[in-house]
Structure 1
Amino acid sequence: MTTEAIIILTVGVASFIRGVSGFGAALIIMPVLSGLTSIYVAAPLVAILGLTIDTLLCFYYRRSFDWGLVAKLWIGSILGIPLGFVMLRFIPGNWMLLALGLMIVVYAIYALFDPAMPILQSQRWMYGTGFLCGALGSSYNIPGPPIILYGNSQRWGQEKFKSNLSVFFWGNAVFVVLGHIVQNRLTETVFQQYMIAIPSMIIGLFSGIILSRFFNPLVFRRVVLVILILVGIRLFVLGLQS
């Protein structure tokens, strides 16, 4: 299979999963493209693909997201970013990946078999969630798990879940892409592969959105938890491989 075909297939599948669940695309695309090309091509490519997906989802779910909630998450994220740099310096990356992967798997399995979990009422949880996202994003480039866990604990409906995640991720993606621009990483090769990936990204994303409309809330929540388990296992394996 050619490089172009692998890119098209990987981005299509990852975008489909993002359309269904609202998260998970980067964790699928990044390992495949890093092995296929290099981290210096894959990282900026995944960044601009993620920004494009987030922009499309923000527009699609523009009537569903909660600006007040997302603003609190962003504030927490900004405050957490410095801690991430400290973590990156003093905590081995494989330890963090192992711990985070194990935590996600344990939570998701528990929630899968015990749907009557308590809803976190205090607004401090919003700032705390954003804080953890900022710390994990600036240290290990994995800001998603805390907000995914928080959204699931709040019993957000499908559209609110996807819209809040997309707007939050969009804000992070803008800064990541700007960072790649400053470091001159958006090369001609990156843009060529980006153009190749756009059609499968759009088809996969909106196919996932359309399919997810047929899920009732309980089925959607279970899909999210199953994908969380897979994400947790993936992080745990990455920790072992580091």
Structure 2
Amino acid sequence: MGLYEIAVIFLAAFIYGVAGFAFALLAVPLLSFAWPLKHIVPLVALLATSLNGLMLFKLRKSFAFKRVMPLLLGGLPGVLVGAYFLRHYDNAFLRVILGLVLVLYGLWGLKNPKRPFIIGDNWGYLFGFLAGFLGGALNTPGPPVIIYLTLKDWGKDEIKSTLQGFFFLLAIFVIFSHWRMGLITPEILKNYLIAFPVILIGLFSGHRLYGRLSLKVYQKILYGLLVIMGLLSFPWKIGG
């Protein structure tokens, strides 16, 4: 693992510490310039699980498992489908999906739409499946879940704790699926051990800065960067 990879992981963990999400959304496209997705996705899954576990512990008083159940039950089969895509399709196809997810998610965030209506819990199965698919294929389960939660009549702590709970539980299943398919190799485990102190420093540094910055303004900047990185993720040179 070189300095570029360490810097990317630190930056993604730092932003996660500030915003509470977007670790994989930032780490995956930036690391894809140096590593193939078959190496990046399992590694980021291991690192993201560690971050989610730490954040969930911090928000444990606001967490309710019943809020996560529809998302989780829909997400588990989605992970299997996504992991299948990761193993059997080449990087170009997966990067197109990744680019679309980042661009659409970033534009949605920049628009900052108001909640048009409130949806029931049963919608969680569909959004959970979509999140599971993206988690298994690209380790980016966030966008469907975040959209789902913006359409729920819940408070800030309830939304954030549900995010962390779902991400943590889904990530465990993602890791298991990757392990069963032989995607978690000794090299990935070695890089995980190297990167773990880096994500801890990034997480606590970002959390410390969180109280000093306007999260709303920072999220606007983040969404704009996601659009740019999504465009860069497309395999523009295919066939050239």
Aligned to 2:203: 205
C-alpha distance in 1 between matches for 2:233 and 2:83: 20
Does the aligned pair in 1 maintain the 2:71–2:166 contact within 8 Å? yes
Q: Could you say what secondary structure the match of 1:23 adopts?
A: coil
Residue among 109, 123, 126 paired with 2:124: 126
Aligned to 1:41: 39
The aligned amino acid for 1:227 is L
**Alpha-carbon spacing, 1:125–1:186, altered in 2? closer, same or farther (3 Å):** closer
C-alpha distance in 2 between matches for 1:236 and 1:156: 33
Give the structure-2-normalised TM-score: 0.77
The aligned amino acid for 1:165 is L
Does the aligned pair in 1 maintain the 2:115–2:150 contact within 8 Å? no
C-alpha distance in 2 between matches for 1:139 and 1:55: 21
The aligned amino acid for 2:187 is T
Unaligned 5+ segments in structure 1 are none
Residue among 187, 190, 200 paired with 2:188: 190
Unaligned 5+ segments in structure 2 are none
> In the TM superposition, what is the alpha-carbon distance from 1:197 to its structure 2 partner?
1.4
Aligned to 2:68: 70
Does the aligned pair in 2 maintain the 1:104–1:229 contact within 8 Å? no
C-alpha distance in 1 between matches for 2:29 and 2:17: 20
Residue among 211, 214, 228 paired with 2:223: 228
Q: Could you say what secondary structure the match of 2:60 adopts?
A: coil
The equivalences for 1:1-242 within 5 A come to 3-78=1-76, 80=78, 96-97=97-98, 99-111=100-112, 116-154=114-152, 159-214=157-212, 219-239=214-234, 241=236
Q: Could you say what secondary structure the match of 2:62 adopts?
A: coil
**Alpha-carbon spacing, 1:124–1:59, altered in 2? closer, same or farther (3 Å):** same
**Alpha-carbon spacing, 1:15–1:187, altered in 2? closer, same or farther (3 Å):** same
Does the aligned pair in 2 maintain the 1:76–1:129 contact within 8 Å? yes
C-alpha distance in 2 between matches for 1:12 and 1:187: 22
**Alpha-carbon spacing, 1:6–1:101, altered in 2? closer, same or farther (3 Å):** closer
C-alpha distance in 2 between matches for 1:100 and 1:32: 15
> In the TM superposition, what is the alpha-carbon distance from 1:129 to its structure 2 partner?
2.1
Segment of structure 1 superposing worse, 181-190 or 81-90: 81-90
> In the TM superposition, what is the alpha-carbon distance from 1:56 to its structure 2 partner?
1.4
Segment of structure 1 superposing worse, 70-79 or 135-144: 135-144
> In the TM superposition, what is the alpha-carbon distance from 1:29 to its structure 2 partner?
2.2
C-alpha distance in 2 between matches for 1:94 and 1:8: 22
Does the aligned pair in 2 maintain the 1:44–1:186 contact within 8 Å? yes
